[in-house]
Amino acid sequence: MQHLIIDNGSYEIKAGFSSADTPLKVQNTVAKTRDGVIYVGNDFLTNNNNYSGIMLKRPFSQGHLTSWETEKPVWDYTLQKLGGADKKGVDPSQTHLILTEPPFQLPQLSINTDQIVFEEYGFNEYFRCIPPLLVPWVAEANDFYLVVDSGHDATWVVPMIYQSVHWEGVRKLPVGGKLLAGLLAETISFRHYDVSEEPVLVNTIKEQTCFIAPEGKFQDYLKNKSKYECEFILPDFKTTTTGYVRTPKTKITADTQILKLYDERFTVPESYYHPEIIFDNHRATAHSALLQQTPFKNLADLIVEAVMASPKVTRPMLVANICIVGGSTKFPGFDARLKAELEKELPQQWHLQFRDVEDTGREEVAWVGGANLADSDVLDKVSISKKEYFEHGSNWCQKQFGFKNLT
């Protein structure tokens, strides 16, 4: 029996067998170019030499997997790639699947996923969980972890106690890579060029230029924004299709287009700590007195809430084992700023410490945890077989894997 781990992220799928060293990464999207060509998964990255005007349709909406019409072609593409050189794909009847889903996924959507897994693909055995549940299987042996997972759709704060999710303490900040990219696109379109139909370009600018200002320095950075000027070479579709940051050694020509960025670089990621920035930059809400006076909770506030919602005896141990994962946590300055913000809010006698997972990219932690789980005897105790599924019905998986009802 092979063990296949699919970390089904809304931006990127990380998939691979437990015997692999690294997962296969697939864009979780169906793309349509300006001339009407359709690409699935990574194909638009390799077969398309012009990303201008490309449309990306993703199967996730509001953080939930809502469109299997979009997701299934991407899964078919992924399983075909995992099949190796013979292109025969994966044999689900001989495969145990470990699949991740977002926290608090709507039950009916989870049931839809279970039906696809067993009735459409026919996997032999199955275990479904949220990504933070797999993090303790990667980190050092410890019974208490506080997982901060910032991905494409949102940022989740999840207390893990004895390798189980403490659901009463789970908190969500609706700020992730998707929102930050949209905010950056609006800002650039207003100040410079219209990039509203250039998702690949905007994402490249975000990843290569944005950073988080140190604690207490945001206003100083705003006053001296000219110091943080960054020149970004826009794509000409001859020498570059995505663009890149200009360096002192970069040679330019007369027709090279340059985008100069200033405070956009740090005001956009500042949304983690000042969510009101999102509303200040939106036409419909910028002048709303009610919204301007509303005290929005930022990332540090939600982490403190998550800790305080956990059993009292576990709180210092959760704070001493904070794991930061997810692709949107890779902004320069993310860790230092979060640590400084938390030190102001938490008791001084508590030892605050971040646990980095060595030799593992932050976006791959859940997949590596799934691979480690597959090698343990725990998996057999929590999995559901295809036979059990057809015996008990479609609600059986939700009873076993779903989040506990909160009272």
Task: Please spell the DSSP secondary structure of 72-121, one letter per residue.
Answer: HHHHHHHHHHHT-TT-----GGGEEEEEE--TT--HHHHHHHHHIIIIII
pLDDT value at residue 288 = 61
Low-confidence ranges of the chain (pLDDT < 50): 405-407
State pTM to two decimals: 0.91
**Helix 334-345 crosses helix 299-308 at what angle (to 10 degrees)?**
50
pLDDT value at residue 17 = 93
169 and 300 assigned to the same domain: yes
pLDDT value at residue 229 = 92
214 and 334 assigned to the same domain: no
pLDDT value at residue 200 = 92
CATH of the domain at 270: 3.90.640.10
168 and 190 assigned to the same domain: no
Give the span between the Cα atoms of 194 and 189, in whole angstroms. 4
Q: Give the range of the structural domain holding residue 276, as residue numbers without chain letter.
A: 177-281
Give the span between the Cα atoms of 9 and 63, in whole angstroms. 10
For residue 401, how far is the Cα from the chain centroid? 21
CATH of the domain at 162: 3.30.420.40
For residue 158, how far is the Cα from the chain centroid? 14
Residue 291 lies in a domain: no
CB 27 within 8 A of CB 200: no
Torsion of CA 240, 243, 244, 246, to 10 degrees: 90
pLDDT value at residue 146 = 95
Count CA within 13 A, CB hemisphere, residue 232.
26
SS3 295: coil
Residue 407 lies in a domain: no
Residue 290 lies in a domain: no
91 and 17 assigned to the same domain: yes
In the sheet that holds 24-27, the strands lie side by side as: 24-27, 12-17, 2-8, 95-100, 125-129, 384-385
The pLDDT tens digits for 292-305 are: 566 678 999 999 99
Which DSSP category does 136 fall into?
A: G
129 and 86 assigned to the same domain: yes
